[in-house]
Amino acid sequence: MKIETVKVNEAKEFDDFIKSHPKGHMMQTSMWGKVKKEWDWTGFILRDDSGVIKGVCGVLLRKMPYTSFKMMYAPRGPVCDLDDKETVTALLKAVADYGKKNKAFTFKIDTDTPVSNTEYINLLKSLGFTFRDNNEKFESVQARYIFRLPLEGRTEEEVMAGFHSKTRYNTRLAERKGVRIEIKGKEFCEDFHNLMLVTGERDNFATRSTGYFERIMDAFGDDAKLCFAYYEDELLAGALDVHVGDKVWYVYGASSNEHRNLMPTYLVQWTMIKWAMEEGCSWYDFRGGYPDENNPLHGIYKFKKGFCNDYIEFMGEADLIMNRFAYTFVNKATELMKSTRKLRAKILK
C-alpha cells in the first residue's frame, strides 16, 4: 500500500475516482476545496502495490478564528470500500499523521454511511475516534438525517408516483398556474443571493454571500446549475444543485414571500430531479431535514419528505482528538457563540 497527496489544482485522478465510486460525495472533491477558500485542501490517495487506487480522502485544514488552534475535517470522507478495514485504517492513519505534523487539535469525519453500520463505527472507535452524543437537533457540521431519493431503473412516472399525493398535486398546480422554469448561470448568483436573504429573514437562518454561490458555480462548472421559477417575470423560487458521479445534490434553496400559493418550490425540485435522471444518476440527494417537530425549521423536513418518504440516519460526527485542551476550548467557545446568536435572533425578531 502506498499513500500520496495531491493539492487542489492537480486532483483530476482523485476526482475521477470519487465520481466512479458509489460512496463518492461532492464534498470530498477538489472542487469543494476550491469553494472552501478559507481552508487548505489536501487529497490523500491510497494505492495497492500494482498502483490501483483503493481509496481517497479529501481533507480541509484551517486555523480556528481568534485562536492558534487548527481543525482538520474530511467532510463525508473517506471514499472507499468501508468494509475494507486495511484500506480505511491506512487512509485515516495517513491523514492523522498529516494533522499531527500540522498541529491540528482534532481530525473530524462524518462518513457517508448509516448509523446501522456498526462494524465501521467500531473500527473508527478502535482507531481512537470518539463520537459525541447525537440527537435530532441538527447541530453537527453536516446534517445527520438525509433524504436520498432513488432514481436508478425508474421512469419519471414511477418516481412521481412515489411522491406524497399533496406533493404531486402541488407540482402539477405550479405547472397549471403558469409558473415558468429557467436554468441560469453564474451571472444570476446575485439574484439567488437576494432570494436567499428573503428566505433567511423569514426562516431565521444565516445566509451565504453572492461570492460563495459564484465559487460553487465556478468550481463545478457545468455540473452546477441554478434553477429559477418565475411567474409573470417575477422570480419566486430557486435552487442550486450539483452533480458528481451517480448523485445530484440539492445544495441550497430559496423562495420569495410572493405568490407562495403557486407552489414554485415544488416545480423547481421536480425539474432538478428530472435533470438528475437525464444525467443517469442513481440518487437525488435532498441533504438534511429536521425530524424534531419542535424544531423551528421542521417545515424543511416535511417539504422534503413529500418527495422522499424515507430518510437515512448517518453515523454522525467522529473526532480523533489530538489536543484535548484545544478541543474542549473550541467546543465551549462554539457553543457560546451559538447561544449568543440565538439570543440575538430572539431580541431582533
- pLDDT (0 to 100) of residue 8: 96
Peptide bond into 78 cis (omega under 30): yes
Taking residues 263-288, what's their average pLDDT? 97
Mean pLDDT of the chain: 92
Closest CA to 222 of 147, 287, 159, 278: 278
CATH code for the structural domain at 2-140+314-348: 3.40.630.30
Q: Is 103 exposed, middle or buried (0-12, 13-18, 19+ CB in 10 A)?
A: middle
Residue 196, phi then psi, degrees to nearest 5: -65, -35
Taking residues 173-198, what's their average pLDDT? 97
Q: Is 62 exposed, middle or buried (0-12, 13-18, 19+ CB in 10 A)?
A: middle
Helix H, strand E, coil C: the string for the chain is: CEEEEEECCCCHHHHHHHHHCCCCCHHHCHHHHHHCCCCEEEEEEEECCCCCEEEEEEEEEEECCCCCCEEEEECCCCEECCCCHHHHHHHHHHHHHHHHHCCEEEEEECCCCECCCHHHHHHHHHCCCEECCCCCCCCCCCCCEEEEEECCCCCHHHHHHCCCHHHHHHHHHHHHCCCEEEEECHHHHHHHHHHHHHHHHHHCCCCCCHHHHHHHHHHHHHHEEEEEEEECCEEEEEEEEEEECCEEEEEEEEECCCCHHHCHHHHHHHHHHHHHHHCCCCEEEEEECCCCCCCCCHHHHHHHHCCCCCEEEECCCEEEECCHHHHHHHHHHHHHHHHHHHHHHHHHC
Bigger pLDDT: 169 vs 324: 169
Q: Is the pLDDT of residue 101 over 60?
A: yes
In this predicted structure, which of 53-57, 232-236, 340-344 has the lowest mean pLDDT?
340-344
Query: Identical fold at 2-140+314-348 and 146-312?
Result: yes
Bigger pLDDT: 289 vs 233: 233
Domain boundaries, the chain: 2-140+314-348, 146-312
Q: Is the pLDDT of residue 64 over 90?
A: no
Cα distances (Å, whole numbers) of residue 25 to 28, 29, 58, 64: 5, 7, 10, 25
Q: Is the pLDDT of residue 176 over 90?
A: yes
Residue whose C-alpha cell reads 437562518 in the numeric block: 205
* Residue 339: partners with Cβ closer than 8 Å, 6 or more residues away: none
Taking residues 216-243, what's their average pLDDT? 98
Instruction: Give me the amino acid identity at 181.
Output: I
For residues 40 and 61, give the distance between their C-alpha atoms in angstroms, rounded to a whole number.
5
Task: Specify the length of the chain in residues.
Answer: 349
Return the C-alpha cell found at 148: 436520498
**From the CB of residue 201, how many other CB atoms can be counted at a distance below 10 Å?**
11
Q: Which CATH class is domain 146-312?
A: alpha beta
Q: Is the pLDDT of residue 203 over 80?
A: yes
Q: What percent of the chain has pLDDT over 70?
A: 93
Taking residues 51-75, what's their average pLDDT? 93
pLDDT in tens, 118-156: 999 999 999 999 997 655 444 678 888 899 999 999 999
CB 108 within 8 A of CB 75: no
pTM of the model: 0.92
Q: Is the pLDDT of residue 346 over 60?
A: no
Bigger pLDDT: 109 vs 345: 109
- pLDDT (0 to 100) of residue 269: 98
In this predicted structure, which of 26-40, 97-111, 123-137 has the lowest mean pLDDT?
123-137
Task: Quickly state the pLDDT bin for 79 (edges 50, 70, 90).
Answer: very high
Cα distances (Å, whole numbers) of residue 135 to 161, 303, 339: 32, 21, 17
- pLDDT (0 to 100) of residue 290: 74
Return the C-alpha cell found at 347: 431580541
- pLDDT (0 to 100) of residue 132: 79
- pLDDT (0 to 100) of residue 347: 29
Q: What percent of the chain has pLDDT over 90?
A: 79
